[in-house]
Amino acid sequence: MPNVLFAALPPRWLQYEPPLRAALDAAGIKAHVATDIPPEEVDYIIYAPNSGLTDFTPYTRAKAVLNLWAGVEDVVTNATLTQPLARMVDHGLTQGMVEWVTGHVLRHHLGMDSHIQGQDGLWRTEVPPLAADRPITVLGLGALGTACAQALAGLGFPVTGWSRSAKDFSGITCLNGDAGLDLALETAQILVLLLPLTGATDNLLNAERLERLPRGAFVVNPGRGPLIDDEALLAALDSGQVAHATLDVFRIEPLPVEHPYWAHPNVTVTPHIASETRARTASEVIVENIRRGEAGEPFVHLVDRANGY
């Protein structure tokens, strides 16, 4: 019977214990799951990077570390982590991201803010273009980026997707590499950022690249805060190069009350809610990897340490 250590903040254990046990039962796996197993007896670690566990050296028997988060930038460079690391790819998380991105893209496309905020007696007659006339670019074609790009394409938007390596998805214009990034930005009336955070993507959206956007573009970032050069974005907002930015992620969270994003009239701040890992569906993903480990099958959603995701 495998021993499974749940290494996360205490409130998460209250959330996850019932669905984890239910998922194990459904898979026919008998396992000991707890928050206080001696390191040398642990077979699997269910892990949140903010748990306080930073030294994996004592976990000599562990077959895998199963991340509760989609992002792994806070753990992938840990030199003590020699066990296989799997990131969270969860259909509940993906669906939540699709709903958030689609909602805010449509909000900007339709110009809903002017009507929601402008209940002042003015009869505003501006009519938005149809989706077919509003090109959208999604930076990042991993599981989340691809799902969002496909959902937007399904609504009739012409969608360009960009990734570091070549991808090919029906209904999406797929670009890659530095030259492809320039082309992807030049058509992006609405830009959605869903890249992982790596050394290559930190400050990816800098002043030079913001200038490549069509004037008056919208920026939507539910990916990672450091993908954007904050000072460059504020300058682009002030000049009108970017019409509005909707931001869900930030370099420091919670976003400090004195940060200029809060007071800027053309910035919408949401509190890192674009997509939350759902305990029920995430438990099913975790248990599938435990099942695979016990059956001697390859783990899914393994992190490529060289790429950082």
Picking from 111, 25, 243, the residue whose alpha carbon sits closest to that of residue 233 is 243
Query: Given 272, 280, 291, 301, which residue is catalytic?
Result: 272
d(CA 152, CA 146): 10
Inter-residue contact 189 to 244 (CB < 8 Å): no
Catalytic residue among 134, 209, 224, 244: 224
CA distance 56 to 59: 6
Residue with tokens 């930076």: 139
Q: Respond yes or no: is residue 291 known to be catalytic.
A: no
- What is the number of H-type helices and E-type strands within the chain? 9, 12
Could you give the C-alpha distances from 26 to 29, 68, 226, 280, 298, in angstroms and in order?
A: 8, 20, 40, 12, 20
Is 272 assigned a catalytic role?
yes
Q: Among all residues, which ones are annotated catalytic?
A: 224, 272
